[in-house]
Structure 1
Amino acid sequence: MSQSTQKAAPKSAAGEAWETIVVVVEALLIAIVLRSFLYQPFSIPTASMQQTLMIGDYFVANKYVWGYGKHSFSLGRYGNFTLLDFELPISGRILGRSPDRGDVAVFRPVPQTVEYIKRVVGMPGDRVQMKQGRLYINDVMVEREKIGTAEDTDSSGDTREVTVYRETFPEGSSHIIQEISDNGPLDNTQEYVVPAGHFFMMGDNRDRSADSRVLSAVGFVPETNLVAKAEARFFSIKDNIPPWQIWQWPANVRWDRMFQSVYQ
């Protein structure tokens, strides 16, 4: 009985190069699909959401839970370079549900061309106001409990002592906020009436946040301008040091902030 063996023909250099290109393109397409439709990473460059999200925190946001709006397919900016900023010609949202009060949202303010991240404070139809540093929703003062004091440093290196509180919304969800004082420029405001189909956003670092209280900069956020719901931190490094500078990690990575929900 004779046996015959079959050997694969050796691949040419051109063939191997082509296979490598195909694999790379497939990986890029999978990454783009995941980033466009499911989850997108973001980083925090400012102090407006401290301590929930610190300068140098990296987090992943869920893009499908609230469905898709006209800014859902922006893939982010890297310095002055925009990877993709495709605006859908729609006025509402496709699929998904509406945010809950207390959710942390990535969104595109109407006057801006970059993403912001704040907490959903006011729902459509709500009346929102700040009086002497206290948040009122529909004439009811939102509960807050003092936890202690801390030092807060903004993106310019300015360090201030802040009072830390646990604030609890009427629905029962709670979160940490910070106040430098109860007499800041945005601690006494007009009453804001949230229009239908819009949300009122505020930063957890109340005296260092330009948010919906500043109508000319952020204002009421249309539901169609929501991009994603922040879910979990996956990396954190001091002073906004670029993550690729691995030699900086031992002294600067905040290991205790990694792989945690933003709602803890």
Structure 2
Amino acid sequence: MDTDPFAAQREIAAALDVAEHFDIETEWRCRVAFLAEELQRAGRKSLVLGISGGVDSLTAGRLCQLVVAGLRTQGYDARFVAMRLPYGEQRDAHDAEAAIAFIEPDQILRVDIQPAVDATLQSMIDAGASFGDAHAADLIAGNVRARQRMIVQYAAANALHGLVIGTDHAAEAVMGFFTKHGDGACDLAPLTGLTKRRVRALAEHLGAPFNLVQKIPTADLELLRPLHPDEMALGVRYDAIDDFLEGRPVGREVAERIVSVYRNTEHKRAGPRTPPSRRVSWED
């Protein structure tokens, strides 16, 4: 790591496409246009997104509904499908239902992922796999839950001629705070480049309920630590991450933490590594 963690601040913000200036009217219209164009370009008919009850899926979901409503006025047959994907009983299910009530999706699909997740983990145990101590096993199971949710979303998108929408944004991307091939997988990522505070501002601008906009973020993937706040897992507050990405002053310890995690999680933001090119020129 560089001796000066601030030297990488602008470089990282640029790599994650964080705009220096934020105009909310421009942002939401640009992202709606992006989704509309990509759906039509792909020749698909639906946008599919899992709704967790957090502000990220709330915001992405509302953008999706605005997109399909607008396309239908132009004669393009499109719909937004919201998916509820609990693992058994979701502790904050009321927030997810409130989010869906605000978004008003065209269709709601509810799939309990617990049977599939439990069967997968048990099959691995039966095969002789070892998950380590209880904490390690809980983390592994959490990632299986995240990936199972994406399996279901892609199955739905296949059946409904749709594209899967992701909720990743710059504040999560910089910290690698997503499951590789789980919530990090998608066809379209409309929140890319936004910090957490900008996601919240966008949600508020779109009319989302205040309690959902300001809800304490939690991935809620660990059974041993239910509803564990993201900021405790990250070891740094979202406000500090946002300040770093938006080019504002932050403490050295915060900057060092963010830069270190960013570099250590590069593999999560990149595609598969491949061998060096061995192509031979046709002229040789």
Q: TM-score, normalised by structure 2?
A: 0.26
Name the one with the larger helix percent: 2
Name the one with the larger strand percent: 1
Q: TM-score, normalised by structure 1?
A: 0.28
Q: Which has the larger radius of gyration?
A: 1
